[in-house]
């Protein structure tokens, strides 16, 4: 399993980073984890072929995590001419939110896509297998109009855990337990940003995170400026092999 960080920015593209979008290659295919509004550009900037992703996991339906899906789908249909189905995995309500978003951005295009969209909607605590990926979810604390999910994704004998957006909660600890890599959000240096985790909290709770490796994502301007050396930090374009 290896991971290409197409984007690891926050909603404000702090530091000029692209919105969250991770490209996951494994023995049975390629998948995306989150697809924020800037993701199509981010993927092409890294020389990746967006249409090669057969599965997309969405943590929650905020624009910087799923706003790029309509662009991904029309690129797949009308530029790449892809006919194979695409699988979308995310929280309950994902299908309705995607249809509404697509109808707002490209009226009528949703009904003209030449491939099937197979949607699996999950609740916290669910587990499933999709296209060679073993996926388990945990409840995160982040209001999004849907159950906000953290993912554990296992393939090729390795486990990647990703919090998406969340305040500190027990679900973060369960995600981390035994993971080869935990990608955890860090929106600010100090506590006070609602529904997000701070570096201050990560330092305080670090002993509760049982992952072999921890990397920060979704960093705000103050985190980027401080560049804390006590945690690994993601950057757009980085490739991580597990």
Please report, for the domain that includes residue 206, its CATH number. 3.60.15.10
Q: How many domains does the chain have?
A: 1
How would residue 111 be classed by pLDDT, with cut points 50, 70 and 90?
confident
Other beta carbons within 10 Å of 224: 19
CA 25 vs. chain centroid, Å, equals 14
Q: Which domain holds residue 58?
A: 2-241
pTM: 0.97
pLDDT per residue as tens digits for the range 209-221: 999 999 999 999 9
- Mean pLDDT for 238-242 is 97
* The pLDDT value given to residue 82: 86
* The pLDDT value given to residue 93: 97
Q: Is the dihedral of CA 181, 186, 191, 196 positive or negative?
A: negative
* The pLDDT value given to residue 120: 98
Question: CA–CA separation, 54 vs 40, rounded Å?
Answer: 15
The mean predicted confidence, pLDDT, of the chain is 97
pLDDT per residue as tens digits for the range 51-86: 999 999 999 999 999 999 999 999 999 998 889 999
pLDDT per residue as tens digits for the range 17-53: 999 999 999 999 999 999 999 999 999 999 999 999 9
Question: CA–CA separation, 134 vs 153, rounded Å?
Answer: 6
Instruction: Tell whether the model's pLDDT for residue 231 goes beyond 90.
Output: yes
Instruction: Tell whether the model's pLDDT for residue 240 goes beyond 90.
Output: yes
* The pLDDT value given to residue 109: 86
* The pLDDT value given to residue 110: 81
């Amino acid at each position: 399993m290896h991971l290409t960080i197409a984007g690891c920015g926050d909603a404000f593209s702090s530091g000029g980073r692209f919105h969250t979008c991770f490209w996951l290659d494994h023995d049975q295919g390629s998948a995306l984890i989150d697809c924020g509004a800037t993701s199509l550009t981010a993927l092409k900037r890294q020389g990746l072929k967006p249409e090669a992703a057969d599965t997309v996991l969405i943590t929650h339906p905020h624009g910087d995590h799923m706003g790029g899906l309509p662009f991904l789908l029309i690129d797949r249909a009308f530029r790449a001419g892809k006919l194979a189905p695409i699988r979308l995995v995310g929280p309950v309500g994902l299908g309705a939110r995607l249809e509404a978003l697509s109808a707002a951005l490209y009226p009528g295009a949703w009904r003209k896509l030449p491939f099937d969209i197979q949607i699996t909607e999950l609740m916290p605590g669910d587990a499933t297998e999709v296209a060679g990926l073993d996926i388990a979810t945990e409840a995160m604390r982040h209001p999004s109009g849907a159950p906000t999910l953290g993912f554990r994704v296992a393939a090729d004998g390795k486990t990647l855990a990703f919090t998406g957006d969340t305040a500190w909660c027990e679900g973060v600890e369960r995600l981390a337990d035994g993971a080869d890599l935990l990608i955890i959000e860090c929106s600010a240096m100090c506590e006070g940003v609602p529904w997000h985790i701070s570096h201050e909290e990560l330092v305080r709770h670090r002993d509760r995170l049982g992952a072999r490796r921890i990397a920060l994502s979704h960093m705000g301007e103050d985190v980027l400026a401080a560049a804390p050396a006590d945690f690994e930090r993601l950057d757009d374009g980085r490739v991580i092999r597990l």
